[in-house]
Amino acid sequence: MCLLGIGCLESVRGNLALTLPYVLLWTYKASSLFHLIAKLTWACRFCALCVFVSLRETTALQAALIFIVSGHCEPRSGVAIQFTSCVMDSRDLLCRSRSDFIVIDLAYAEKSLRRRRPFFAKIPTCMSQTKLTPDQIIKEAKVALTKTWERFDEIKAHNQAKVLNAFKQAGIQNSHYSWVTGYGYDDLGKDKLDELYAIYFNTEAALVRPQLVSGTHAIATAVLGNLNAGDELVTIGNPYDTLSTVFKKISQKYNINYKVISEISPENLDLELIIQSLSPKTKVAFLQRSRGYEWRDSYSLSKLQTLISTIKKFNPNIICFVDNCYGEFTQTQEPTDIGADIIAGSLIKNPGGGIVAAGAYIAGKQAYVDAAAESLTAPGIGSHGGCMFDQTRLMMQGFFMAPLIVSEALKGMSLAAYVFSKLGYETIPAFDADRNDIIQSIKLGSREALIDLCAKVQANSAVNSMFSPVPSPISGYDDEIIMASGSFIEGSSIELSCDGPLREPFIAYLQGGLSYAHTELLLAAL
């Protein structure tokens, strides 16, 4: 039995090291001469190809390797061949990823040849697999994504029915568009907007306000309202950069014990570690549904439910707080349907439908929402005070449109995942994966590639397309950040946008898209 692995060393430029459209394997007997013909095309200079061969027999030198090399091979490029006595069990998979190279069971190939069929091995995703044009890739993607998009349509239809039912149950009328000046007392529209959110999110109460300037502000408001000096705040996994700064300052200023269980991620639900990290003083356990600037997927609702159940078993009185930013309407349930006590999110993301100018929401159990409302305004005033500044109609309309807009974003991001993976980049989530937010992470590998992608996003935006984004320091972040967002609402990430920190491994976070067609136009222009 023979094993052969082919992989590439990454280019010093940080770009794709080489392109391998296919590898053709041909063998007669394990002990006889076998031929390998690999057509290789170098995409850039200073790269190397490594070939690993293992033969059951000790006469490894009897094997002949013939390479036909084409493309722009520079003198400094080379081929390294290593013979080894290592033998792999024949029960192993045909094609199994090992770091940056691939392992192929040639016994399977021999069976294919006995049936007079050629055997082709797929190339790892770290190498470009295609010479197709962007238009051809997109055409191919539409076929591959058919079932995925059907699933998105089902989610959209389900959530649209839920939203419609919430409007009907709340009894929304056009008279509720009116607003009250000054202190904002006795604003029926404001009360109905809160009720609308509470019905949809299946909670006792909700607070939807333009005075909540962002998702981060909503989270901080709810945390401050529900913690007292001496209480403990525990975050399950790392919070995103700006929120980490907020929690640290809250801890220092208000004598709150702050603990981060950084080892926890969707890929590592160490429930025993969580139990060990909680204490009798733990008042709030915070879970972040989306990924922030981490290289990981977002939490599925089933995994969030597992975490919440574990926390509640330790102490049912711990407040399980989920940051729901980017996640609303991506599934048929929300975190409050599976055990979360309180959630928060931004209205210039999913629930605003792309038309709300500013604001955020908090939804959950009555006592926790009331405490958050008093933190926002003042004790004794709570949710009763606060002018809506004629935003009630837009907030209602945006919420009604949200299932459609989120579905458009999901389709666009799945297309982006397909295109970039076809171009040889690692992506999270995969193009056909279940999605729990509207973000597509793309590992680009170099500073230049990240800046270039953001520039392309900006150039293909409806607003400010003539400008180029420039990396710069931003409060709350340790690294420079680059952001591309030619949006109608400043900072809106339900609109097509791209950003990322200028640090290794230079990951782009592409998100949103009010229409799938806009995302497709961007990808066709790459």
Beta bridge partners of 2: 55
- Label residue 23 by pLDDT band (50, 70, 90): very low
How is residue 443 annotated by DSSP?
E
Token representation of residue 186: 């006795």
pLDDT for 526: 85
Q: Note the pLDDT of residue 84.
A: 32
pLDDT at 40 > cutoff 70: no
Q: Which residues of 167-200 are buried (b: 16+ CB within 10 A; e: fewer)?
A: beebebeeebbebeeeebeebebbebbbbbbbbb
Spatial contact of 421 and 430, defined as CB atoms under 8 Å apart? yes
Amino acid 97: pLDDT? 31
What's the mean pLDDT in 406-418? Answer: 98
Helix extents (H) in 33-132: 106-114
**In the predicted model, is pLDDT for residue 109 greater than 50?**
no
Closest CA to 208 of 383, 342, 405: 383
Q: Are 8 and 38 in contact (CB under 8 A)?
A: no
For the segment 154-172, the average pLDDT, to the nearest whole number, is: 98
| pTM for the model | 0.77
The dihedral sign for the CA sequence 428, 485, 424, 135: positive
Q: What is the spatial distance between Cα 245 and Cα 253, in angstroms, rounded to a whole number?
A: 12
Amino acid at 508: A
Among the residues of 201-240, which ranges form H helices? 215-226
Q: Pick from 416, 444, 445: which is nearest to 431 by CA?
A: 416
Which residue is it, tokens 């007392």? Answer: 185
Residues 184-242 pLDDT 10s: 999 999 999 999 999 999 999 999 999 999 999 999 999 999 999 999 999 999 999 99
Mean pLDDT of the chain: 81
Question: Is the pLDDT assigned to residue 289 strictly greater than 60?
Answer: yes
Which pLDDT band, with edges at 50, 70 and 90, does 301 fall under? very high
What is the maximum alpha-carbon separation in the chain? Answer: 90
Query: Residue 490, class by beta-carbon neighbours within 10 Å (0-12 exposed, 13-18 middle, 19+ buried)?
Result: exposed
> pLDDT-based confidence at 476, cuts 50/70/90?
confident
Give residue 130's pLDDT.
58
Structure tokens at 277: 């990290």
Across 433-442, b (16+ Cβ under 10 Å) vs e yields eebbbbbbbb
- DSSP strand E in 347-410: where? 360-364
Q: Is 132 left (phi over 0), alpha (psi -120 to 50) or beta?
A: beta
The residue type found at 456 is K
* Residue partners of 526: CB distance under 8 A and separation at least 6: 134, 419, 423, 456
Task: Dump pLDDT digits (tens) for 48-57.
Answer: 333 333 333 3
pLDDT of residue 132: 83
- In angstroms, the CA 353 to CA 404 distance is 8
Under a CB-based contact definition with an 8 Å cutoff, are residues 514 and 405 in contact? yes
Residue with tokens 């078993």: 313
pLDDT of residue 516: 98
Find where tokens 């919440």 sit: 308
Amino acid at 261: I
Among 101, 107, 89, 82, smallest CA distance to 27 is for 107
Rounded-to-integer distance, Cα 492 and Cα 229, Å: 35
Share of the chain above pLDDT 70, in %: 75
- Is pLDDT of 322 > 50? yes
Distance, in Å, from the CA atom of 473 to the CA atom of 256, rounded to the nearest integer, reads 29
Any idea which residue has 């459209």 for tokens?
A: 21
| CA–CA dist 230, 279 (Å, integer) | 12
CA 161, 166, 171 angle in degrees (round to 5)? Answer: 130
Section 73-98 average pLDDT: 32
Which DSSP symbol is given to 196?
H
Helix (H), strand (E) counts: the chain: 12, 22
Residue 17 has pLDDT above 50, yes or no: no
Given a contact cutoff of 8 angstroms between Cβ atoms, the answer to whether 229 and 255 are in contact is: yes
**Is the bond preceding residue 210 a cis peptide, omega within 30 degrees?**
no
Task: Tell me the two tokens of residue 340.
Answer: 């979360």
| Pairing, β 2-9 against β 101-105 | antiparallel
